[in-house]
C-alpha cells in the first residue's frame, strides 16, 4: 500500500498531468503569480490587486455577478437550443415538451428565465455602484460608455427572448414593444413627419424589426437569431473590451483626491 | 387568495420583489458608506481604501469569486426549483389580453405613455436616456468623489441621478407591474381587477382651460409659446443663476457642456411636470400641431 503523498507524487510526475499543469504549485510569490498569468481564464486579472478589489464592500461584486449570470445564460441557452425550433408550428410545443417530456427540462427553462431576470436586476445595480463610487470619472469615461451599451444589450437580449416561447405573454409584449417602433419620427408609419418620406406599415422600421407588418413567423425567426446569435456575439465582444479596459484604466478605481 | 399576495407571488413578479429587496439593500449600503466617508473627509482623514495595500489575486480574489459564484448558483437553483416559469396559452393575434404589458424592465416607458404620445415616450425619451447616460462622464466635471463613496462632495450629481434611477425608472416599473390593471387603470394590489370598469376622465388640453380651442390657430400659437418658453426659459435660467452665483463654474463648463446638461435636465424634469399636469389638472396636451402633439 502506498501513502497518499506517494500517490499524489506519482500522479504529478505522470506525463499527462505534467502536460496539463506544466509545473508544480508551491505557495511562493512566483507560483502565485504563475497561477494567474499561466491560466487563460484567470489571466483576465492582474497578478496583484488592491485590497478593496477583494472586499465586497466596494464593488459588491456586481460586475462579476452580472458576468456570471451571462455565462449561466449562455450555457442553459445552448442546451435549450437543442430542444427548440423557431417556427410558429413547433416553438410552443417545444416548450411544452420541455415541461413534460425532457428530463430536467423544467428546471433548465426556469434557470434560463430567472437567470435572465436576475441579470437585468444586477446589471442595473452594477451601474448604480459605478455611479456612486464616481468610477466613471477620469480615466474611466470610455469604459462607462461601453457599460451603457452593455446595459442596452442586456435589455435587448431579454426582450428578444420573450417571444421565443410563442405564448400570449411574449406575443403581446413584443407587439406592444415593437408598436413603439411604428411611432419613430420619420421612420415609423405612425411617427411624426413620416408621411413626407412615404413611410407605410410595409416599409417602416417596425416592418424591418418584425420582417412583416405583424408579429408572425418571420418575427419569431428574427428574434430567435438576434437572441441566440447576433446579440450574444456583440455582447461578448463588448464584455471583453469592458474587462480589458478595467485593467488598462488601472484596475478597480481607487480614491483620487 | 388575498389579491395582494396573489399579485406579488405571480412567478414573473417574484423577480420584481427580489429587485425591490436588492435595490433597497444596495441603496442603503451605498448611502451609508457615503455618509461614513463624508465624516472622514470632514475630519481630513483618509477615506476607505485610500491606503490600500496590494494582495495576491491568487488566492484571495479567486477565492471570493468562487464563493460568490457558488452562492449565486445555489440561489438561482433554489429559485428555479421553487418557482416554475409560466407558459401562457399559445400566441393568438385575435385575443388581446387586457392589459397587454411590455416586459417588466420596459414598464416605466409604458407608463410614460399615459403622459406622452408614443413617439416621445417610446422613442425620443428612451434614446435620450441612453444619450444622457453616455454623456455623464463628460458633463460631470467635478473632479472630486472619484473612486470612493461620498455624498457631500457630489450632492447634485447624486441627487439628479438618484431621482432618475429610483423614481423615474424603478418606481415607474413597480407601478407598471403592481398598480396597473385592465385599461391601464390604477388598481391597488388588494383590489380585484374589473374588466368592465371604465373611468370617465374628461381630459382637456392646456388652452381649453382658458377657453381657447387647442386645435385653432390661437391655440396652436399659445401652445407653441408655452412649450417654447419652457425650452428657452429652461435653457437660459441656469445661465443667469450661475452667472450671478458661481461664474467660475459657468466658465469651466463651457457652452457645449452647458447646453447638454441643461437640455438633458429640463427634458428629464418635463416628465414629472407632465405627470402632475395630467394627474392633478387632467391636462393631456400642451401643444397640438398638425404633425405631433406635446
Ligand atoms: C453585461 C453587463 C456588464 C458586465 C458583465 C460588467 C462587468 C464588469 C466587471 C466584472 C467589472 C469589475 C468591477 C466590478 O465587478 O464592479 C466592471 C467594472 C466597471 N463597469 Fe461594468 N459590467 C457591465 C455593465 C456595465 C454598465 C451598465 C456600466 C455603466 C453604465 C458599467 C461600467 C463599469 C465601469 C465604469 C467599471 C470600472 C469600475 C471601477 O473601476 O471601479 N458596466 N464591469
Rounded Cα distance, A56 and A63, in Å: 12
Please give the ipTM for the structure prediction: 0.94
Whether B123 and B180 map to the same domain: the answer is: yes
Residues of A numbered 216-255 whose beta carbons fall under 8 angstroms of chain B's beta carbons: which are they?
A: 253-255
Could you tell me if residue B191 is inside a domain? yes
Residue B288: inside a domain: yes
Assess if residue B157 is contained within a domain.
Answer: yes
Would the CB of A73 count as within 6 Å of ligand 1? no
Whether residues B107 and B51 fall in one domain: yes
Lowest mean pLDDT of A154-158, A166-170, A240-244, B10-14, name the range: B10-14
Mark yes or no for CB contact B91/A54 under 8 Å: no
Which residue range is the domain that position B152 belongs to?
1-89+102-195
Does pLDDT of B24 surpass 90?
yes
Please report whether residue B95 resides in a domain: no
* One domain, residues B78 and B21: yes
Domain membership flag for residue B124: yes
φ, ψ (nearest 5 deg) of residue B208: -65, -25
CA distance B276 to chain A (A): 24
* Confidence (pLDDT) at A48: 86
Question: How far does residue A63's CA lie from ligand 1's centre (Å)?
Answer: 5
- Of B149, B177, B127, nearest to B19 (Cα)? B177
Residue B259 lies in a domain: yes
Name residues whose C-beta falls within 8 Å of residue B108's C-beta, 6 or more positions apart in sequence: B168, B169, B170, B172, B173, B176
pLDDT surpassing 60 at residue B1: no
Residues B79 and B161 in one domain: yes
Pick from A36, A155, A181: CB nearest B105 = A155
Our count of domains for chain B comes to 2
Inform me whether the pLDDT recorded for B284 exceeds 60: yes
Final residue of a structural domain among B130, B164, B195: B195
Instruction: Quote the pTM value.
Output: 0.94
Q: Within a domain: residue B271?
A: yes
Calculate how far, in angstroms, residue B69's C-alpha sits from the geometric centre of ligand 1: 17
* Shared-domain flag, residues B73 and B145: yes
Please work out whether the CB of residue A136 comes within 6 Å of at least one atom of ligand 1: yes
What is the mean pLDDT of the segment spanning B144-151?
95
Asked whether A192 lines ligand 1 (CB < 6 A), one says: no
CA of A126 to the centre of ligand 1 (A): 6
Domains of chain A listed by start with CATH number: 1-46 (no CATH), 55-248 (1.20.810.10)
B20 & B47 share domain:
yes
Domain assignment present for residue B84? The answer is yes
Q: Could you read off the pLDDT of B153-203 as tens digits, one per residue?
A: 999 999 999 999 999 999 999 999 999 988 899 888 888 888 888 877 778
Please check whether residues B217 and B241 belong to one and the same domain: yes
For residues B190 and B210, state if they share a domain: no
The stretch B50-64 carries a mean pLDDT of 87
Q: How far apart are CA A59 and CA A231, in angstroms?
A: 26
Distance between CA atoms of residues A194 and B239, nearest Å: 36
Q: Does B56 contact A32 at a Cβ distance shorter than 8 Å? A: yes
Same domain, B168 and B48: yes
Question: Are B249 and B144 part of one and the same domain?
Answer: no
Q: DSSP strand E in chain A: where?
A: 48-50
- Give yes or no: residues B54 and B163 share one domain: yes
Amino acid at each position: 500500500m502506498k501513502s497518499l503523498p506517494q500517490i499524489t507524487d506519482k500522479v504529478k510526475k505522470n506525463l499527462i498531468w505534467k502536460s496539463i499543469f506544466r509545473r508544480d504549485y508551491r505557495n511562493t510569490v512566483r507560483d502565485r503569480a504563475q497561477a494567474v498569468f499561466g491560466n487563460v481564464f484567470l489571466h483576465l486579472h492582474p497578478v496583484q490587486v488592491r485590497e478593496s478589489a477583494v472586499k465586497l464592500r466596494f464593488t459588491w461584486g456586481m460586475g462579476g455577478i452580472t458576468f456570471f449570470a451571462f455565462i449561466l445564460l449562455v450555457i442553459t441557452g445552448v442546451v435549450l437550443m437543442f430542444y427548440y425550433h423557431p417556427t410558429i408550428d413547433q416553438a410552443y410545443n417545444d416548450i411544452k415538451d420541455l415541461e413534460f417530456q425532457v428530463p430536467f427540462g423544467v428546471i433548465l427553462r426556469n434557470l434560463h428565465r430567472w437567470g435572465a431576470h436576475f441579470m437585468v436586476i444586477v446589471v442595473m445595480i452594477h451601474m448604480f455602484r459605478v455611479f456612486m463610487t464616481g468610477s466613471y470619472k477620469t480615466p474611466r469615461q470610455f469604459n462607462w460608455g461601453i457599460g451603457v451599451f452593455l446595459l442596452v444589450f442586456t435589455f435587448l437580449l431579454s426582450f428578444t427572448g420573450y417571444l421565443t416561447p410563442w405564448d400570449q405573454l411574449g406575443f403581446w409584449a413584443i407587439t406592444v414593444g415593437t408598436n413603439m417602433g411604428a411611432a419613430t419620427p420619420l421612420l415609423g408609419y405612425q411617427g411624426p413627419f413620416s408621411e413626407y418620406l412615404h413611410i407605410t406599415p410595409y416599409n417602416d422600421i417596425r416592418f424591418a424589426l418584425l420582417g412583416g407588418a405583424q408579429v408572425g413567423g418571420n418575427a419569431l425567426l428574427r428574434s430567435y437569431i438576434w437572441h441566440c446569435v447576433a446579440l450574444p456575439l456583440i455582447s461578448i465582444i463588448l464584455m471583453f473590451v469592458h474587462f480589458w479596459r478595467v485593467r488598462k484604466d488601472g484596475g478597480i478605481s481607487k480614491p483620487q483626491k | 387568495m388575498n389579491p395582494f399576495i396573489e399579485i406579488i407571488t405571480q412567478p414573473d413578479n417574484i423577480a420584481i420583489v427580489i429587485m425591490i429587496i436588492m435595490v433597497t439593500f444596495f441603496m442603503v449600503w451605498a448611502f451609508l458608506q457615503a455618509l461614513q466617508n463624508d465624516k472622514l473627509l470632514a475630519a481630513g482623514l483618509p477615506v476607505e481604501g485610500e491606503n490600500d495595500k496590494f494582495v495576491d489575486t491568487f488566492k484571495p480574489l479567486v477565492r471570493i469569486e468562487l464563493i460568490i459564484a457558488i452562492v449565486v448558483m445555489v440561489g438561482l437553483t433554489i429559485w428555479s426549483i421553487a418557482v416554475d416559469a409560466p407558459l401562457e396559452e399559445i400566441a393568438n393575434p385575435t385575443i388581446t389580453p387586457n392589459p397587454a404589458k411590455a416586459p417588466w424592465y420596459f414598464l416605466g416607458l409604458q407608463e410614460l405613455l399615459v403622459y406622452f404620445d408614443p413617439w416621445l415616450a417610446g422613442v425620443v425619451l428612451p434614446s435620450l436616456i441612453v444619450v444622457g447616460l453616455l454623456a455623464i462622464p463628460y458633463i460631470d466635471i467635478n473632479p472630486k468623489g472619484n473612486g470612493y463613496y461620498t455624498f457631500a462632495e457630489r450632492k447634485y450629481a447624486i441627487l439628479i441621478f438618484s431621482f432618475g434611477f429610483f423614481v423615474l425608472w424603478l418606481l415607474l416599473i413597480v407601478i407598471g407591474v403592481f398598480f396597473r390593471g385592465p385599461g391601464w387603470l390604477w388598481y391597488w394590489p388588494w383590489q380585484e381587477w374589473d374588466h368592465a370598469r371604465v373611468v370617465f376622465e374628461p381630459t382637456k388640453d392646456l388652452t381649453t382651460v382658458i377657453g381657447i380651442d387647442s386645435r385653432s390657430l390661437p391655440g396652436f400659437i399659445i401652445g407653441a409659446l408655452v412649450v417654447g418658453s419652457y425650452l428657452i426659459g429652461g435653457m437660459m435660467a441656469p445661465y443667469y443663476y450661475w452667472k450671478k452665483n458661481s461664474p467660475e463654474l459657468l466658465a469651466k463648463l463651457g457652452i457645449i457642456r452647458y447646453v447638454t446638461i441643461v437640455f438633458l435636465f429640463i427634458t428629464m424634469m418635463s416628465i414629472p411636470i407632465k405627470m402632475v399636469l395630467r394627474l392633478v389638472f387632467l391636462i393631456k396636451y400642451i401643444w397640438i400641431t398638425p404633425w405631433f402633439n406635446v
